[in-house]
Amino acid sequence: MGLKRVVVTGLGALTPIGNNIEEYWNGLANGKSGCAPITYFDTEKFKTNFACEVKDYNPTDFFDRKEARKLDKFAQYAIISSEEAIKDAALDLEKVDKFRVGVIWGAGIGGLETFQEEVIGYANGDGTPRFNPFFIPKMIADIAPGHISIRNGFMGPNYTTVSACASSANAMIDALNYIRLGHCDVIVTGGSEAAVTIAGMGGFNAMHALSTRNESPETASRPFDATRDGFVLGEGAGALILEEYEHAKARGAKIYAEVVGGGMSSDAYHMTAPHPDGIGVERVMLNCLKDAGVSPEQVDAINTHGTSTPLGDVAELKAISKVFGDHTSKININSTKSMTGHLLGAAGAIEAIASILAMKHSLVPPTINHTTVDENIDPSLNLTLNKAQKREIKYAMSNTFGFGGHNACVLFKKLDE
């Protein structure tokens, strides 16, 4: 039995540079920074006092107060972005076979704010365990796809992938495989995260993982720049409707792109640092190309993991040069994290969406905030610095890597009917 083709028929996003797909793309195309001083809590004693928060967000614009109290922000973001994607895909919930519609979602942490609030509440009390009855169902990472499924009646596979910052890319790869093996017709996939919290900022600061460029937060996320000093924490969600090609055609769905391959690998090296030679990163891209049946010379654009860390950026670019050889200089390489910050478990989803929209609009979003050349980076690489570049894109790759050495890579193709 041959594998079925899988396409993207719907998109949804809630990000630090736009609260829906249209706003998100406009932010990407115009090189908008989503970074600003944190508004959620007092950061006076923190090493880093900025992040990429979702702007102008009020949960009661989407949920009644009673429902909002039962949902951690990461689950709220998941529901909102998935509903946009379902609407964008024009899925008729009365006609679709709900037993063949699944939800596979990514979250690296889950309900961190809920966990934090409950523990602080207990610590400040008299020792009596007065916990919110919704504490556990608000916190657990798998609750986001659970809510999406319950709200829409989808009764296919339903679970969360957890692989740190590769989580939503792994979710997309699982969704791809379920559909192309014939187990599902449609899967809602993507990821969400809401870790801009006291615990999130404090924990990443303790690891010396975050930028401390407090004097100029809007320029703090600066992938590939010689003065980069760590990533910028972001939050939000991205959702994609993956659908079997013939199923999409039969209902007259618009198609954004085809998902032609996914690759996974492990660094097997260190808890948080990438392998300095990029061995795992090299392997994940090779695995993805092999899965897709695509040669390195066919790839036009790569949205890198590109977190703006001193070690990670160089290791990834070294791996890209090894995989793509002489063709590397012909590829538009970029990092949209320069604008959105790092959305952890949601990064793979919003960056895949950026790749798909770049393909649709024939425009590669920029890597902003680059001012100083890093002598450790090959100067022949086109890193799409500071300004978007017009480009016809047939194949676009999206890379994501997570603490623990988890690597995931997804390849999209402009539809060739």
pLDDT digits (tens, 9 = 90+) for 295-350: 999 999 999 999 999 999 999 999 999 999 999 999 999 999 999 999 999 999 99
**Token output for 189:** 């996939």
CB 324 within 8 A of CB 301: no
- One domain, residues 273 and 338: yes
Q: What is the pLDDT of residue 278?
A: 84
Per-residue pLDDT tens for 183-196? 999 999 999 999 99
Answer yes or no: do 281 and 337 share one domain: yes
Q: Are 110 and 141 in the same domain?
A: yes
Is residue 378 included in any domain, yes or no? yes
- CATH number of the domain at 356, please: 3.40.47.10
> If you write DSSP's letter for every residue of 348-401 in order, what string do you get?
HHHHHHHHHHHHHHTEEPPB----S--TTS-TTSB--BSS-EE---SEEEEEEE
Q: Retrieve residue 238's tokens.
A: 């991205």
234 and 193 in one domain? yes
**Which pair of structure tokens corresponds to residue 92?**
């008729």
Residue numbers of the domain that contains 404 = 263-413
What's residue 417's pLDDT?
55
Mean pLDDT for all residues in the chain: 97
Token representation of residue 57: 């967000």
Q: How many domains does the chain have?
A: 2
Strand order in the sheet with 406-413: 158-161, 101-106, 186-193, 236-244, 6-14, 257-266, 406-413, 395-402, 301-303, 332-334
Indicate the residue among 227, 250, 273 that finishes a domain. Answer: 250
pLDDT for res 275: 84
Residues labelled as active-site residues: 165, 305, 342
Compute the CA torsion angle 12, 300, 225, 201 (nearest 10 deg).
30
Last residue in a domain, options 221, 250, 279: 250
Read off the pLDDT of residues 175-230 as tens digits, 9 standing for 90 and up.
999 999 999 999 999 999 999 999 999 999 999 999 999 999 999 999 999 999 99
The helix/strand/coil state of 232 is coil
